[in-house]
């Protein structure tokens, strides 16, 4: 029986509960919460009662749904993550890596990778993806460099890749997976932004179907689920033991998982797999395609289209910084983007992105280009980003809880950083604890901060 059907059945049983959660399925809800959220959500919020299952050791209704999900995703096992891809990334690394193990990581990773490095005690070896200065974004790693690093570091245990990148740039996972198999290392793919791929292969090829041992996907990012619903999949032929993933998840997860989130994940997966779901994705793709075509026909607008996931629309207006375009869209049109950089602006789309929403954006950009509205000085252009190769003096776990001190940024050359410095979004680390501060870091950060935390 599905989780949803069981909750509906259980509600009809009219049981009298003396259990958590203490709102007793909405008998008490603080007034502001009910005003804003309504009652229905609370009415689905149960603990592990008779007939319910246990997310930390699923044997009943949750297991049934997860087994169905694994079939849908063509995985050996699928896991619900009620704390986002963040928890899946940490669990994947905890399951595969031991203290002192080397892990190769493409630097355009989410900052949760730092959490995983602290908790596993693994030692990062970084590979810099190629940087596209025209767009101000990281793209794929260089496959020859990858093989070279693996040749020089025979003790690397796993490779961690983010695909698609936050901005939608793609890496050829087929090729990477082939290289990983040749070097006998595990491949973890952060596919947080690719949760629609299993249902519309033209958007991207899901890593789980081309040899990645573990794939993590955020259902909330593109697939229309609540924050922070996400999934972890183990590939069919992978030697990763599902018990190791379950144990790792149990180590970092609450013992009171949210049934409303489980309901939302279950129904999202079944919906995505249904004909209605497929039509909905096709409609989204059609609307985005139409928007992109219109932008490409608009003078002075450029759209990033280099083998990318089109649900992430990255565009720029000639002679205008991304920050400037972003500010105009916000102040004059009430349009909020996901992220702006010096060169471009990123708009995230997903199942909730309607044709009308895209039309509004299209109209605003066409108007901006026509009138060439320039409301803001181009100050941000001075804050040029250059990719900086990290130098690891200590692994993040080695400096965890070590004594630190705040010093002036200008005096920090060659000191060991003790902060994760990552603009959010996208949360890609510029510096991590244990890394050496270089002159390029100081130059880049000097416009945004005065002080920095260093190892005492």
Ligand X SMILES: Cc1ncc(COP(=O)(O)O)c(C=O)c1O
Residues that bind ligand X (CB under 6 A): 84-86, 110, 112, 162, 166, 190, 192-193, 218, 228, 230, 425-427
CA 36 → CA 31, 39, 41, 44, 443, distances in Å? Answer: 9, 10, 11, 17, 45
| Three-state helix/strand/coil letters over 196-264 | CHHHCCCCCCCHHHCCCCEEEEEHHHHCCCCCCCEEEEEECCCCCCHHHHHHHHHHHCCCCCCHHHHHH
Smallest distance, Å, CB 86 to ligand X? 3
Nearer to ligand X, 230 or 399 (CB): 230
Determine the residue with CB nearest ligand X: 84
Nearer to ligand X, 193 or 441 (CB): 193
Smallest distance, Å, CB 451 to ligand X? 26
Smallest distance, Å, CB 112 to ligand X? 6
Q: Which of 382, 398, 394 is nearest to 447 (CA)?
A: 382
Nearer to ligand X, 106 or 317 (CB): 106
Smallest distance, Å, CB 88 to ligand X? 8
Nearer to ligand X, 112 or 397 (CB): 112
Which DSSP helix (H) or strand (E) runs through 75? strand 75-81
Smallest distance, Å, CB 60 to ligand X? 26
Q: Is 15 exposed, middle or buried (0-12, 13-18, 19+ CB in 10 A)?
A: exposed
DSSP letter at 342 equals S
DSSP letter at 39 equals S
Q: Is 341 exposed, middle or buried (0-12, 13-18, 19+ CB in 10 A)?
A: buried
Nearer to ligand X, 84 or 260 (CB): 84
Smallest distance, Å, CB 207 to ligand X? 13
Nearer to ligand X, 26 or 84 (CB): 84
Question: Phi/psi of residue 393, each to 5°?
Answer: -90, -40
Smallest distance, Å, CB 107 to ligand X? 12
Terminal C-alpha separation, the chain: 57
The Cα 54–Cα 403 span in angstroms is 40
Nearer to ligand X, 230 or 263 (CB): 230
């Amino acid at each position: 029986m599905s989780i949803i059907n069981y909750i509906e059945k259980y509600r009809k049983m009219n049981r009298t509960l003396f259990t958590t959660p203490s709102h007793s399925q909405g008998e008490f809800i603080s007034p502001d919460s009910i005003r804003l959220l309504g009652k229905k959500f609370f009415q689905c919020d149960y603990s592990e009662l008779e007939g319910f299952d246990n997310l930390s050791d699923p044997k009943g209704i949750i297991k049934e749904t997860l087994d169905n999900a694994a079939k849908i995703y063509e995985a050996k096992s699928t896991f619900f993550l009620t704390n986002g891809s963040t928890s899946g990334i940490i669990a994947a690394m905890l399951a595969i890596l031991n203290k002192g193990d080397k892990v190769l990581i493409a630097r355009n990773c989410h900052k949760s990778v730092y959490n995983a490095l602290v908790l596993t005690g693994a030692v990062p070896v970084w590979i810099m993806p190629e940087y596209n200065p025209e767009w101000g974004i990281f793209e794929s790693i260089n496959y020859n460099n990858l093989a070279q690093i693996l040749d020089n570091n025979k003790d690397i245990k796993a490779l961690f890749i983010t695909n698609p990148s936050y901005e939608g740039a793609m890496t050829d996972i087929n090729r990477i997976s082939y290289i990983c198999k040749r070097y006998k290392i595990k491949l973890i793919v952060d596919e947080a932004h690719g949760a629609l791929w299993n249902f519309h292969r033209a958007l991207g090829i899901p890593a789980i179907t081309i040899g990645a041992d573990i794939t993590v996907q955020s259902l909330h990012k593109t697939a229309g689920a609540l924050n922070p619903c996400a999934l972890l999949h183990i590939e069919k032929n992978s030697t990763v033991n599902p018990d190791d993933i379950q144990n790792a998840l149990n180590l970092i997860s609450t013992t009171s998982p949210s049934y409303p989130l489980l309901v939302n994940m279950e129904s999202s997966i079944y919906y995505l797999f249904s004909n209605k779901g497929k039509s909905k994705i096709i409609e989204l793709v059609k609307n985005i395609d139409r928007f992109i075509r219109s932008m490409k026909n608009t003078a002075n607008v450029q759209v990033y289209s280099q083998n990318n996931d089109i649900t992430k629309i990255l565009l720029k207006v000639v002679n205008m910084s991304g920050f400037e375009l972003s500010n105009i869209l916000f102040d004059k049109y009430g349009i909020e983007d996901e992220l702006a950089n010096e060169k471009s602006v990123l708009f995230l789309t997903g199942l909730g992105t309607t044709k009308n929403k895209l039309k509004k954006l299209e109209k605003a950009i066409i108007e901006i280009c026509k009138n060439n509205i320039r409301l803001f000085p181009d100050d941000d252009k001075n804050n040029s980003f250059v990719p900086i190769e990290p130098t690891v003096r200590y692994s993040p776990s080695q400096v965890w809880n070590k004594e630190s001190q705040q010093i002036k940024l200008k005096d920090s050359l060659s000191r060991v950083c003790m902060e994760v410095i990552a603009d959010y979004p996208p949360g890609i680390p510029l510096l991590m604890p244990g890394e050496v501060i270089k002159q390029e870091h100081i130059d880049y950060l000097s416009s945004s901060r005065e002080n920095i935390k260093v190892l005492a």
